[in-house]
């Protein structure tokens, strides 16, 4: 009986070994580029600093920024973006005691400078037609009757339950 078990074990081992040769080769995924980035940072004990970064994504679009500043709050820097469709924008800026000032360079559609402040529109002057005013008719108007009697009747009438605050109505007497 032992020999039969050994024979079955050996046969199954050979069968399993043959199956591994028939299996499809393992698929190794190709390396996918997700882009690259680089950055630098530095700061001294006086508060002066400098940093920069640059990112290029897997499609080739690029953006970056660099800035330096001092302990007094003055800053000089720039940032840029370049899309894969060819649009490029770069902004150089300065922030100091005189405020924030930026200079923008771009090739984006619709951003070309033009002298829009010099444009003017002068429509032709047309005199308005003169129309005689209609006469105003005076009709007698009856004055309304005095409402004093009606309001006094409401004031002197016995108390009626109503919503709202009232210091005289609705308080129970304590015995």
Residue 76's DSSP bridge partners are 68, 94
What's the pLDDT at 89?
94
Q: Which two tokens stand for residue 65?
A: 């920024």
pLDDT one-digit tens code per residue, 26-58: 676 767 777 888 999 999 999 899 999 999 998
DSSP state of 1: -
Domains of the chain: which residue ranges? Answer: 35-108
β-bridge pairing 99-106 and 75-82 = unpaired
Alpha helix locations (H) across 64-172? 148-156
pLDDT one-digit tens code per residue, 91-125: 999 999 989 999 999 988 877 766 666 666 666 76
DSSP state of 118: G
What's the pLDDT at 110?
78
Mean pLDDT over all residues of the chain? 76
What's the pLDDT at 43?
92
Q: What confidence tier does 142 reach under pLDDT thresholds 50, 70, 90?
A: confident
State percent of the chain over pLDDT 70: 57
Q: Give the mean model confidence (pLDDT) for residues 17-26.
A: 60
- The pTM score is 0.46
35, containing H or E segment: strand 35-43
Of residues 115 and 83, more confidence is placed in 83
What's the pLDDT at 53?
95
Burial class (CB in 10 A: 0-12, 13-18, 19+), 54: middle
Comparing CA positions, the residue from 75, 29, 30, 82 lying closest to residue 57 is 82
Q: What confidence tier does 146 reach under pLDDT thresholds 50, 70, 90?
A: low
Q: Which residues contact 11 (CB under 8 A, 6 or more apart)?
A: none
Residue 81 has pLDDT above 60, yes or no: yes
From residue 53, give the alpha-carbon distance in Å to each of 24, 41, 64, 67, 166: 45, 9, 5, 10, 72
Q: Which two tokens stand for residue 35?
A: 């882009």
What's the pLDDT at 137?
73
Strand, helix or coil for residue 22: helix
């Amino acid at each position: 009986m032992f020999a039969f078990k050994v024979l079955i074990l050996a046969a199954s081992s050979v069968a399993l070994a043959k199956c591994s040769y028939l299996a499809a080769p393992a698929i190794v995924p190709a390396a996918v580029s997700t882009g690259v980035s680089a950055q630098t940072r530095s700061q001294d004990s006086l508060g002066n600093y400098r940093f920069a970064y640059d990112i290029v994504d897997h499609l080739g679009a690029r953006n970056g920024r660099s800035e330096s500043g001092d302990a007094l709050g003055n800053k000089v820097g720039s940032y840029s973006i370049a899309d894969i469709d060819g649009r490029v924008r770069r902004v150089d800026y300065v922030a100091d005691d005189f405020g924030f000032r930026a200079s923008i360079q771009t090739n984006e559609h619709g951003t070309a400078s033009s002298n829009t402040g010099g444009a003017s529109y002068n429509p032709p002057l047309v005199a308005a037609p003169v129309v005689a005013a209609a006469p105003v008719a005076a009709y007698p108007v009856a004055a309304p009757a005095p409402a004093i009697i009606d309001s006094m009747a409401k004031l002197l009438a016995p108390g009626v339950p109503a919503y709202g605050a009232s210091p005289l109505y609705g308080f129970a007497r304590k015995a």
